[in-house]
């Protein structure tokens, strides 16, 4: 049985960003499934449109050349990957009505019945973790067996939509094979932002755990993981790092749902990385309320050079609405500790435009970015999607129509969108042009080998007016999620 996976990209990624791999990381979920299938005797092919930015016509050419029996699509709601998947799937199904079209990931997990109801060319949705489910599905289709016994799928049979029971979460993550990165060996993934390279070596993503015990109301991790946190053994993670080291990888991004959910376990992992002389440069996302000096110290010693802190808001009312469980002061203290330990680059993410949030509260959050000791802010206009608690609450309160917004998500901010976007753009510019900020950035770069290597890898961007202008425009871009209410 010939198996193909497609990681689609929204049209804007292809048209506006050309060949840059901006925002496109190795699709780890698909690579895990491909690795599992390989262990069970099935080979697969991956077409990563998101990374390569090839037009859909070329995607179709590749599909026709492969002539697969089954195609699995990666689907996400917040960047319209789900809509792009349906666009491509429709064309493929018209070309070959016999090919089985399967959707997976968050969009398919939380919209499985709507997808099958609206799109007759989609045959099956895989809900939740896909490794075992997709293998059982491939095996059943190959042997022409009934799909009733396969947990975690929604499918169509004789015109009727059938929803099988959920598949339990995988308890022992060590039983899974490593992600199969052989299928992406010809793709150069980079942490590239608007033409600016944030790394300078061979880059990939890695995951040491799944899930999160916290339940932020804007995030779908709680529902996906049932608010549980499952870890791989440290020895299993080290084995994968040894493999990546032997394959020439130098830069990593830990994509765990909550990397340091247990700080003590994280410290043990970081010490094992040092003990085994695994010399990686790596990035992670970090909750501000799980930070302590020992954790940050061991992070730095084991290769952490960039941390992205989820600060979210300057307003306690909004933090409470998001169920973050911390105060703005805790965020300020965490960043100060990271700066003191010597983390080379500190990002801060902010989420503005929550339901009932006023313009004054938004301005307060934008101003907070200048008060904390971060190197750069990332402002996002909040949008809500199926799979999150906020979505469920707004649907229950009849404030949004789920039938209208399930494919895109929806922004629910109170002030006019145009005003908020203008305030965000102004906040970016005000942040960058501060003399003290520019002085500190210069001083930190002179003291940091890591920063110097990034500067050297971006000389073409810094010395080319058009490229620098593009990077500047990208850096001050307004990031929004969902369509306007």
Residues 283 and 323 in one domain: yes
Residues 114 and 205 in one domain: no
Q: What is the CATH number of the domain that holds 458?
A: 3.80.30.20
Residues 47 and 113 in one domain: yes
Residues 229 and 346 in one domain: yes
pLDDT over threshold 80, residue 475: no
Q: How big is the chain, counted in residues?
A: 485
- Taking residues 398-404, what's their average pLDDT? 95
Distance CA 152, CA 144 (A): 19
Distance CA 306, CA 4 (A): 34
472 assigned to some structural domain: yes
Confidence class of residue 457 from pLDDT cuts 50, 70 and 90? confident
Residues 152 and 211 in one domain: no
Q: Which of 123, 146, 163 is the last residue of a domain?
A: 163
262 assigned to some structural domain: yes
Instruction: Say how many domains are in the chain.
Output: 2
Residues 102 and 225 in one domain: no
Distance CA 307, CA 356 (A): 30
3-state helix, strand, coil in the chain (%, to 5): 45, 20, 35
> 213 near 228, Cβ under 8 Å?
yes
Distance CA 205, CA 185 (A): 14
Q: What is the CATH number of the domain that holds 52?
A: 3.40.50.280
Strand partners, 309: 286, 348
> 346 near 339, Cβ under 8 Å?
yes
- Taking residues 189-211, what's their average pLDDT? 84
pTM over 0.85: yes
- Taking residues 341-354, what's their average pLDDT? 96
pLDDT over threshold 80, residue 22: no
pLDDT over threshold 50, residue 17: no
Confidence class of residue 180 from pLDDT cuts 50, 70 and 90? very high
Q: Which residue has the tokens 């494919």?
A: 407
Angle, vertex CA 14, rays to CA 281 and CA 59, nearest 5:
100
Distance CA 207, CA 334 (A): 23
Distance CA 94, CA 399 (A): 38
Q: Is 123 helix (H, G, I), strand (E, B) or coil?
A: coil
pLDDT over threshold 60, residue 276: yes
Q: Which residue has the tokens 């941390």?
A: 307
* DSSP H helices in 40-190: 49-52, 56-66, 81-95, 106-118, 131-142
177 assigned to some structural domain: no
* DSSP H helices in 67-209: 81-95, 106-118, 131-142
Residues 199 and 159 in one domain: no
- Taking residues 257-274, what's their average pLDDT? 97
81 C-beta neighbours (distance < 10 Å), count: 22
Residues 112 and 224 in one domain: no
Distance CA 282, CA 305 (A): 6
173 assigned to some structural domain: no
174 assigned to some structural domain: no
Q: Give me the pLDDT at residue 18, please.
A: 46
Residues 103 and 34 in one domain: yes
Q: Whole domain around residue 376: which residue ranges?
A: 190-484
431 assigned to some structural domain: yes
291 assigned to some structural domain: yes
Distance CA 93, CA 97 (A): 5
180 assigned to some structural domain: no
Summarize pLDDT for 67-105 with one digit per residue, the tens.
999 999 999 876 678 889 999 999 999 999 999 999 999
- Taking residues 252-280, what's their average pLDDT? 97
Q: Which of 163, 178, 205 is the last residue of a domain?
A: 163
Residues 270 and 401 in one domain: yes
Residues 128 and 234 in one domain: no
pLDDT over threshold 70, residue 284: yes
Residues 236 and 377 in one domain: yes
- Taking residues 208-234, what's their average pLDDT? 95
């Amino acid at each position: 049985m010939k198996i193909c996976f497609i990681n689609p990209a929204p049209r804007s990624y292809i048209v506006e960003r050309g060949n840059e791999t901006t925002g496109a990381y190795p699709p780890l979920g698909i690579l895990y499934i491909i690795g599992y299938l390989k262990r069970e005797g099935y080979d697969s092919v991956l077409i990563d449109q998101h990374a390569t930015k090839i037009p859909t016509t070329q995607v179709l050419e590749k599909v026709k050349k492969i002539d697969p029996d089954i195609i699995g699509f990666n689907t996400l709601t917040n960047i319209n990957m789900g809509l792009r998947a349906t666009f491509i799937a429709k064309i493929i199904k018209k070309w070959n009505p016999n090919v089985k079209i399967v959707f997976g990931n968050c969009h398919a997990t939380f919209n499985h019945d709507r997808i099958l109801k609206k799109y007759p060319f989609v045959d099956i949705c895989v809900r939740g973790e896909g490794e075992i489910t997709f293998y059982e599905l491939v095996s059943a289709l190959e042997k022409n067996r009934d799909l009733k016994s396969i947990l975690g799928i929604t499918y169509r049979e004789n015109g009727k939509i059938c929803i099988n029971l959920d598949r339990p979460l995988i308890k022992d993550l060590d039983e899974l094979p490593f992600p199969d990165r052989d299928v992406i060996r010809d793709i150069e993934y980079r942490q590239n932002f608007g033409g600016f390279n944030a790394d300078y070596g061979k880059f990939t993503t890695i995951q040491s755990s799944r899930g999160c015990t916290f339940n932020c109301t804007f995030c779908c991790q709680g529902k996906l993981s049932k608010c549980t946190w499952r870890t791989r053994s440290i020895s299993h993670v080290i084995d994968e790092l040894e493999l990546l080291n032997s394959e020439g990888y130098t830069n990593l991004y830990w994509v765990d749902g909550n990397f340091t959910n247990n700080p003590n376990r994280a410290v043990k992992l970081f010490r094992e990385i040092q003990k085994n002389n695994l010399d990686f440069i790596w990035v992670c996302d970090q909750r501000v309320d799980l930070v302590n000096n020992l954790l940050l110290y061991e992070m730095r010693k084991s290769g952490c050079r960039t941390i992205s802190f989820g600060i979210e808001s300057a307003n306690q009312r909004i933090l409470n609405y998001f169920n973050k469980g911390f105060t703005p002061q805790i965020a300020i203290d965490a960043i100060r500790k990271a700066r003191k330990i010597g983390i080379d680059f500190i990002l801060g993410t902010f989420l503005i435009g929550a339901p009932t949030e006023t313009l004054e509260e938004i301005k307060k959050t934008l101003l907070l970015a200048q008060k904390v000791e971060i190197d750069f802010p990332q402002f996002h206009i909040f949008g809500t999607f199926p799979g999150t608690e906020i979505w469920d609450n707004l649907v229950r309160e009849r404030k949004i129509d789920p039938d209208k917004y399930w494919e895109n998500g929806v922004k629910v901010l109170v002030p006019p969108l145009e005003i908020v976007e203008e305030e965000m753009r102004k906040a970016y510019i005000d942040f960058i042009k501060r003399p003290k900020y520019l002085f500190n950035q210069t001083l930190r770069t002179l003291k940091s080998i890591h920063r110097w290597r990034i500067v050297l890898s971006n000389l073409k961007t810094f010395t080319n007016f058009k490229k620098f202008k593009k990077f500047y425009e990208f850096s001050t871009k307004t990031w929004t999620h969902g369509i306007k209410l």
